[in-house]
Amino acid sequence: MILLNAFFLSAFLHSTAYSAAISSHDKSSAQKLADPNYGPIPGQSSLYSSYRGKAPPFPGNITDPIAPTAKGPPGTDDLVWQNLLSAEWVIFSFYQQAVEMFNETAFAEAGYPNTTYDRIQEIRDNEAGHLRIFQNEITPTSVKPGACKYAFPFDNPTSFLALATLIEISSMTFLTGLVQMAKLPASQGAMTAIAATETRHETWALLDIWKTNPFGGPSDTVFPYANQILDVTNVFIVPKSCPSENPVYPSPRQNLPPFSPARSTKSITPGSNIALNFTDPTNQPSFRKGVQYYATFFHGPSNISVPIDTTNWPREDIKVRIPPHFEARGIILAVIADTVGAPILATVKAGPVVLLEQPAELGLLVS
């Protein structure tokens, strides 16, 4: 019933480790990418919007890391851009696999508009452009991460589109966090521009695919700890498949215990009661005796913390009510914290989980 749990548990059972189709292990080709003027330039070339084809577009066809070409300290925002580039390899590869796996007929026969496959290719092209932008933002003194091998748990158009919707709306949220982590105004502006593009992708999906109102209220959800969302994407990375030159992803990495609403959940709209399911048996939370913990829910520009009882866990489920104060639009993002409001990174002890409110029926499926 809870599709995302099934996604995580079955990623390596029901999908192939995707990398061979986009691999290029010619390190000399990768080093050419160190020159920001090499190849089509985003914003100037139509490649990143109008290319149509099964083969991966530049620079997605060159997957090796790009070694530093200068000595010296890393650039001010290099770490943030390295994290974002590693995340972008996941997202680009996700769309590239769909382009290779499906065609226009597959989406039409599944009941989606005839333009769906064309839009998927265009989004794939946009994501290729993001790869190049992020590569160029990392200064010459730092490595530019390459692609890993990935396993994505979809085998039909509907499961792909459901996961795509969650990925796009999560991208909008982690970008609001990365903007806060970046120190240079130019970096903050570039990330805001990328977030606007992701918003366009999500708006298309909500209107054309799910036939729902795309408006999420006056503000999308702001979440300050982007790396915690990025860490969730590690579930799609085949263990030990990343280039040895790549930095830890994300860096710094907390490796927090993940959780989701339990399978018995009937609704994730504001005011609903949910039980928490900690989904990784090898990474379970540790609750200290005598400490009050909270489920902190982020929605729009604010958050609300609800006390939770951890005394009898794991013998008894931890239950909490999603704050009824929130408007049932956009997304709600929840973490477990030991301080009201989760004011600093160290106060977050588990999560996050993304609760998709639009469309509500899809939100319950993928939470």
Write the DSSP assignment of 217-257 as a string of letters: -SSPPP-S-HHHHHHHGGGGBPTT-S-TTSPPSSSS---PP
316 within 8 A of 303, measured Cβ to Cβ? no
- What predicted TM-score, i.e. pTM, was given to this entire model? 0.92
pLDDT tens-place string over residues 39-63: 999 999 999 999 999 999 999 999 9
Residue 39 pLDDT: 97
d(Cα 115, Cα 204) in Å, to the nearest integer? 11
**295 contacts 273 by C-beta, under 8 angstroms:** no
Asked if residue 315 has pLDDT above 90, the reply is yes
Torsion of CA 171, 280, 261, 364, to 10 degrees: 50
Q: Hey, which residues does 355 pair with through a beta bridge?
A: 332
How many CB atoms neighbour CB 185 within 10 A?
8
Running DSSP on this structure, what letter comes out for residue 325?
T
Average pLDDT value for residue range 272-295: 96
Structure confidence at residue 170 (pLDDT): 85
What pLDDT is stored for residue 26 in this prediction?
Answer: 64
Residue with tokens 């958050």: 303
Task: Answer whether residue 9 shows pLDDT above 80.
Answer: no
Domain segments of the chain as ranges: 3-236, 259-366
Q: What is the mean pLDDT of the chain?
A: 91
Cα 308 to chain centroid distance, Å, stands at: 27
Average pLDDT for 182-203: 95
Q: Are 194 and 133 in contact (CB under 8 A)?
A: yes
